[in-house]
C-alpha cells in the first residue's frame, strides 16, 4: 500500500477525506495558547485574535519526533508514505520531515512542494491521481518533483494589514496600498513568495485583471482541475472569480477551497487566488 500525506497547509478542504489523504497539522499559537491547524482552530479565531490584539498568531512546524510518530503509524501498518510538504522556504516542516524520514529508509519519500496552500494541494491531488492509476511510489515522487516548477501559486490580497504586521511589507506600502486601493500580486517563485504586478481598484476589477493575465501567461495548462482558494472572502467575489475562471479557461473542474488558519494568518481576510498546473 502507498499512502499520500501532506501538511495542513495544503488547504484541500473536503478533498482530504474523499481521497484518504493523511494530514500533519502545523501549530498556530494565539498568545500562549497552541492550537493545531484544521483541528481546534478556525480562520475566524485568527480574525478575532487580530482584531483584539493587533498581533498575528505565531506558527510552528511539527517537530522531528512528531513527524517520526506520524510516519510510523503508516509504515508500521505496511504502507509506503509519500509526504508533500509546504515550501521549505516558508517553513521548517520540510527539514524536520526529511530528518524524520531517515529512520524509515525507502518507506518514506519526502517532497518539498516549493508551494503552499492549494498550490501544494495541486501536487497532492496529482500524486493521488497517479496512485489511483496504479503508479508506484518512486514514479509518483519523481513526477511530483518534476511538476513543481509548473504550479501556479498566486493570489491577490484585499488589504496589506496582515502582510505588514508579519513584516512582509513596509508601513508606507501598507498605507499607500490601502488608501489607493492597490492590490499586489503575490506569487511563488522557486518556493519563495514575491510581489509582482500591482492591480488597482475594487477587488472584482483586480481579480478580473489577474485572471486575464493568468490566461496570457499560461496559454497551455493541465485541464484536470483548478482551485479558487480564498481566506473567508466575500461570497460575491468568490462566485465572480469562479464564473470568470470557467469562462476564461477550460478546466474539467473548478474547486473552491477555503484557506486554513496558517495561511489565513499570513494574508488576512478576503485574499483570493486561482491556482493550477501549467504545461
- What pTM does this model have? 0.93
Say if residue 51 is in the same domain as residue 169.
no
The Cα angle at residue 113 between residues 112 and 117, in degrees rounded to 5:
130
Q: Which residues of the chain have pLDDT under 70?
A: 160-180
Helix runs in the chain, H state only: 15-18, 43-53, 64-75, 93-101, 117-132, 137-147, 161-165, 171-180, 203-217, 235-248, 261-267
> What pLDDT, in 10s, does the model give residues 105-125?
999 999 999 999 999 999 999
Residue 28 and residue 156 in one domain? no
Residue 84 and residue 166 in one domain: no
Angle of the 203-217 helix axis to the 235-248 helix axis, nearest 10: 30
Same domain, 120 and 212: no
Helix (H) or strand (E) holding 196: strand 192-200
Task: Report the distance separating Cα 200 and Cα 210, nearest Å.
Answer: 11
Residue 164 sits in a domain whose CATH number is 3.30.1180.10
CATH number, position 20: 3.40.50.10170
H or E element in which residue 249 lies: none
Q: Are residues 240 and 131 in the same domain?
A: no
pLDDT digits (tens, 9 = 90+) for 44-97: 998 899 889 888 888 899 999 999 999 999 999 999 999 999 999 999 999 999
Can you give the residue range of the structural domain that contains 245? 151-277
pLDDT at 183: 86
Q: Is the domain of 69 the same as that of 131?
A: yes
Strand order in the sheet with 27-30: 33-36, 27-30, 58-60
Of 194, 168, 198, 195, the residue nearest 181 (C-alpha): 198
How far apart, in whole angstroms, are the C-alpha atoms of residue 10 and residue 229?
11
Listed residues 147, 178, 206: the one ending a domain: 147
Q: Are residues 64 and 92 in the same domain?
A: yes
Quote the number of domains for the chain. Answer: 2
Amino acid at each position: 500500500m502507498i499512502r499520500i500525506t501532506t501538511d495542513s497547509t495544503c488547504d484541500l478542504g473536503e478533498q482530504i477525506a474523499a481521497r484518504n489523504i493523511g494530514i500533519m497539522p502545523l501549530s498556530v499559537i494565539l498568545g500562549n495558547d497552541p492550537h493545531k491547524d484544521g483541528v481546534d482552530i478556525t480562520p475566524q479565531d485568527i480574525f478575532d485574535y487580530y482584531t483584539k490584539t493587533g498581533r498575528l498568531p505565531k506558527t510552528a512546524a511539527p517537530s522531528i519526533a512528531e513527524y517520526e510518530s506520524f510516519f510510523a503509524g503508516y509504515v508500521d501498518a505496511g504502507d509506503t508514505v509519500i509526504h508533500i510538504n509546504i515550501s521549505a522556504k516558508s517553513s521548517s516542516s520540510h527539514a524536520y520531515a526529511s530528518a524524520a524520514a531517515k529512520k524509515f529508509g525507502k518507506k518514506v519519500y519526502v517532497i518539498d512542494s516549493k508551494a503552499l496552500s492549494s498550490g501544494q494541494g495541486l501536487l497532492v491531488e496529482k500524486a493521488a491521481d497517479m496512485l489511483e492509476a496504479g503508479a508506484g511510489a518512486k514514479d509518483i515522487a519523481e513526477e511530483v518533483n518534476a511538476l513543481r516548477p509548473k504550479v501556479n501559486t498566486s493570489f491577490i490580497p484585499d488589504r496589506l494589514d496582515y502582510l505588514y504586521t508579519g513584516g512582509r511589507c513596509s508601513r508606507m506600502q501598507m498605507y499607500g496600498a490601502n488608501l489607493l486601493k492597490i492590490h499586489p500580486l503575490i506569487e511563488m517563485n522557486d518556493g519563495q513568495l514575491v510581489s509582482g504586478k500591482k492591480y488597482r481598484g475594487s477587488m472584482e476589477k483586480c481579480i478580473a485583471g489577474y485572471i486575464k493575465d493568468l490566461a496570457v501567461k499560461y496559454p497551455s495548462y493541465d485541464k484536470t482541475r483548478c482551485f479558487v482558494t480564498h481566506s473567508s472572502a466575500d461570497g460575491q467575489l468568490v462566485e465572480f472569480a469562479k464564473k470568470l475562471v470557467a469562462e476564461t479557461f477550460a478546466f474539467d473542474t473548478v474547486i473552491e477551497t477555503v484557506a486554513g488558519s496558517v495561511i489565513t494568518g499570513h494574508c488576512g481576510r478576503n485574499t483570493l487566488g486561482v491556482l493550477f498546473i501549467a504545461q
